[in-house]
Chain A
Amino acid sequence: MTPRRRTLRIGRTAAWTYLVAVLFVTIFPFYWILRTALSDNYALSANPASILPVGFTWGPFQRVLGLATTEQSIAEGGSGASISLGHYLVNSIVYASVSTGLIVFFSTLAAYAFARLHWRGRDFMFSLFLTALMVPGILTLLPNFVLVKELGLLNTYAGLILPGALFSAFNIFFLRQFMLGLSTEIEEAALLDGAGKLRVLFGITLPMTSGPIVTLSILGFIGMWNDYFWPLLATSDDSVQPLTLALAVFKQSSPQAQPDWAGLMAATLVAALPMLVLFMAFGKRIVNSIGFSGIK
């Protein structure tokens, strides 16, 4: 074996070792959530190093889903107060899916106007929209809170959803770029046949743009599902609060001396589960979307 081949082999071994280490650190916490969520708190503190669940029980899940009695939850080291993540889950689903649906739809309409229609002021409006990319959330969030409060929309789905459901500079830019790259032949043929612009938009352009629309929907849904700061400002009533807030409150209200770690991990798993399901279903697409959005 030549020295060069040998260094190459050592290099490959080192690279694989590194990759396995990175993968381990990445994935281990997910396993640890599951392992802890199936454990009994008292057994946990007696045997914290066990790789497998200790004192196996479904109790933590029953606790966070509001299915456990107070005595039962105290017996397993819960705080006694059982929370019911079920309706927060519904709130999260409403918040994430309605917001994502609206923002992608409205962005598609605007992108079509910028990519295909000829109108005075088009270039100016487009540049104006792009300036919004420069403004960070922190600058608009507080005034938006004041606005939503003045509109009387605090603690409503409308107040939670509206500020992020109408306008996204990134989405419009992304879709417009894609539409500009599409061939206009089919659209022109349809127009010659007497179809109106709206029909062309919904019948031809929209289906041809379905790839990036799905991409933006997935990325948007992930972002909204995980959103914490805006719901924290806009909601204080648990009838509209999403899961992220419920989890944070549960974490903070957990007693400092003896937190209900098993219950917390069960709640964490419930909060993360939809994303994990999304990942199972669209993993490859998500990976490609992220790479794609970065290159653009």
Chain B
Amino acid sequence: MAVLETTAREQRPPREAVRRRRAAGFTSPAHRGDARLAWVLIAPALIGFLVFAAYPTVRGIYLSFTDFAVLSPPEWIGLDNYTHLLHDEVFWSALGVTVYFVVLSVSISLVVSIVTAAVLHRLTSSTVIRGLIILPFLISAVVAGTVWSWMLDTQLGIVNIVIKALGGDGIQFLTSRGWAIPSIALISVWKQMGYTSIIIFAGLQTIPPTIYEAGRVDGASELKMFQRLTLPLLRPILALVVVLNVIGAFQVFDIVQVTTKGGPANASNVLQMYIYSKAFGQFDFGYAAAMSLSLFVILIAITFLQMRLLRANESDTNA
């Protein structure tokens, strides 16, 4: 990702010389004893990496090929979990529900965030307003889910009261099949939007104002400048935001758990919810691991595809 690119860029030429000397067994006096200290300093991180990141990853892959119910040792069953997965209707429905959620929440969030960031950028530099916008980001998804289940309640929820007062019919936001996922997506947008706006806002601030002055001299309208200058210049940061939001949205769980628990009748049973219920409801850890790994593969494929499609590394000014 963008991360790796930065590290490559800052390898200054003298480093080559240093490396050659080091390879020859020579250490400059200023750095004698560095190696021992370095290993001591990275020891906690290294232990954390090995024990709680690398080992669980490898083990997760192994467990996905086993029948494992935690209490007895895992039993190797080859590809059984994966063949079962191919025929598991609930899995495919969960995948469908998840993709529906991802598309809804990410696209709405992106549009609202871009507009909000652009409006903030043009109208005000007030940190107070930007602060208020990110307030929902500070609270947990559990809190957000609880508040919105109250506000979206069919009988007493303020949203339905307003809808009815305006002459509409009440909506069963969280208790009907059709509305469950859109409602959860809107709650997620409410929680996430400010954070994304602030990141895009920070991106907007890096665009030199002179570019717009040139556009204004040429008589371009605000909207045209936004379309032709702002969006293309923002491309790298938008790509990053999209990729991160998609990865996050695929793992949605907390809001669903608090608002609908996957219901009604699996209508909002997202993948992580299904994985959780398989693992902790039915103690089928092997199968849950297989689904986790499949989700991971899907995420890698989608991230790769997005980076290609969005050409994340370039900002095309003269498109």
A residues apposed to B, CB below 8 Å: 7-8, 11-12, 15-16, 18-19, 22-23, 25-27, 29-30, 32-33, 36, 44-45, 48-49, 106-107, 109-110, 112-114, 117-120, 122, 125-130, 132-144, 146-147, 149, 162-168, 172-173, 177, 180, 191, 197-198, 201, 222, 225-229, 233, 244, 247-248, 251-252, 261, 264-265, 267-268, 271-272, 275-276, 278-279, 283-284, 286-287, 290-295
Assess whether B131 is interfacial by the CB under 8 Å rule: yes
Supposing A12-B123, A109-B45, A110-B41 touch, asked if A118 and B194 sit within 8 A by C-beta, the answer is no
Point out the residue from B138, B202, B288 that lies within 8 Å of A279, measured CB to CB: B138
* Segment of B83-91, B100-108, B140-148 in the binding face: B140-148
Q: Within B185-200, which residues are at the interface with A (CB < 8 Å)?
A: 190, 193-195, 198-199
* CB-defined contacts of A225 to chain B, threshold 8 Å: 140
Assess whether B182 is interfacial by the CB under 8 Å rule: no
Contact across chains for A144 and B56 when beta carbons are under 8 A apart: yes
Contact across chains for A29 and B148 when beta carbons are under 8 A apart: yes
- Shortest beta-carbon distance from B215 to chain A in Å: 14
Assess whether B177 is interfacial by the CB under 8 Å rule: no
In the bound assembly, the distance between CA atoms of A138 and B272 in angstroms comes to: 8
* CB-defined contacts of B195 to chain A, threshold 8 Å: 290
Contact across chains for A134 and B258 when beta carbons are under 8 A apart: no
* CB-defined contacts of B155 to chain A, threshold 8 Å: 45, 48
Contact across chains for A295 and B41 when beta carbons are under 8 A apart: no
Supposing A134-B300, A139-B57, A142-B279 touch, asked if A30 and B135 sit within 8 A by C-beta, the answer is yes
* CB-defined contacts of B46 to chain A, threshold 8 Å: 110, 125, 167
In the bound assembly, the distance between CA atoms of A11 and B118 in angstroms comes to: 13
In the bound assembly, the distance between CA atoms of A267 and B39 in angstroms comes to: 46
* CB-defined contacts of B27 to chain A, threshold 8 Å: 118
Contact across chains for A198 and B37 when beta carbons are under 8 A apart: yes
Contact flags (1/0) for B33-60 with A, using CB distance below 8 Å? Answer: 1110111011011111101111111011
In the bound assembly, the distance between CA atoms of A125 and B39 in angstroms comes to: 10
**A166 to chain B: closest residue by CB:** B48
Contact across chains for B34 and A139 when beta carbons are under 8 A apart: no
Supposing A18-B119, A138-B295, A228-B140 touch, asked if A283 and B57 sit within 8 A by C-beta, the answer is no
Assess whether B10 is interfacial by the CB under 8 Å rule: yes
Supposing A275-B138, A294-B199 touch, asked if A167 and B49 sit within 8 A by C-beta, the answer is yes
Contact across chains for B34 and A197 when beta carbons are under 8 A apart: yes
Contact across chains for B134 and A286 when beta carbons are under 8 A apart: yes
* CB-defined contacts of A275 to chain B, threshold 8 Å: 138-139
Contact across chains for A15 and B122 when beta carbons are under 8 A apart: yes
* CB-defined contacts of A109 to chain B, threshold 8 Å: 41-42, 44-45
Assess whether B228 is interfacial by the CB under 8 Å rule: no
Contact across chains for B258 and A287 when beta carbons are under 8 A apart: no
Contact across chains for A226 and B140 when beta carbons are under 8 A apart: yes
- Shortest beta-carbon distance from A279 to chain B in Å: 6
In the bound assembly, the distance between CA atoms of A130 and B148 in angstroms comes to: 37
Contact across chains for A48 and B158 when beta carbons are under 8 A apart: yes
In the bound assembly, the distance between CA atoms of A130 and B49 in angstroms comes to: 10
**A143 to chain B: closest residue by CB:** B56
Contact across chains for B18 and A48 when beta carbons are under 8 A apart: no
14 example contacts (A-B, Cβ-Cβ < 8 A) are as follows A113-B37, A117-B35, A126-B7, A127-B4, A136-B250, A138-B275, A139-B57, A143-B63, A226-B141, A244-B254, A272-B140, A279-B131, A279-B135, A294-B202
* CB-defined contacts of B93 to chain A, threshold 8 Å: none
- Shortest beta-carbon distance from B166 to chain A in Å: 12
Assess whether B285 is interfacial by the CB under 8 Å rule: yes
Point out the residue from B10, B41, B130, B157 that lies within 8 Å of A113, measured CB to CB: B41
**A267 to chain B: closest residue by CB:** B146
In the bound assembly, the distance between CA atoms of A122 and B22 in angstroms comes to: 12
Contact across chains for B194 and A26 when beta carbons are under 8 A apart: yes
- Shortest beta-carbon distance from A100 to chain B in Å: 14
Point out the residue from A162, A191, A228 that lies within 8 Å of B52, measured CB to CB: A162
Apart from A26-B136, A29-B147, 20 more pairs, CB < 8 Å: A22-B112, A27-B132, A33-B147, A132-B49, A134-B1, A134-B300, A142-B56, A142-B292, A149-B70, A167-B44, A172-B45, A180-B10, A228-B142, A268-B146, A271-B142, A272-B139, A286-B134, A290-B202, A291-B198, A294-B202
Contact across chains for B39 and A119 when beta carbons are under 8 A apart: yes
Contact across chains for B45 and A286 when beta carbons are under 8 A apart: no
Assess whether B3 is interfacial by the CB under 8 Å rule: yes
Contact across chains for A165 and B48 when beta carbons are under 8 A apart: yes
5 tightest Cβ-Cβ pairs between the two chains A and B = A166-B48, A167-B48, A291-B202, A294-B199, A226-B140
In the bound assembly, the distance between CA atoms of A180 and B47 in angstroms comes to: 24
Point out the residue from B145, B241, B289 that lies within 8 Å of A142, measured CB to CB: B289
Contact across chains for B122 and A22 when beta carbons are under 8 A apart: no
* CB-defined contacts of A265 to chain B, threshold 8 Å: 146-147, 150
* CB-defined contacts of B158 to chain A, threshold 8 Å: 32, 48-49
In the bound assembly, the distance between CA atoms of A164 and B289 in angstroms comes to: 20
**B300 to chain A: closest residue by CB:** A134
Supposing A19-B116, A117-B31, A279-B131 touch, asked if A130 and B4 sit within 8 A by C-beta, the answer is yes
Q: Within B267-319, which residues are at the interface with A (CB < 8 Å)?
A: 272, 275, 279-280, 285, 288-289, 292-293, 295-296, 299-300
Contact across chains for B156 and A45 when beta carbons are under 8 A apart: yes
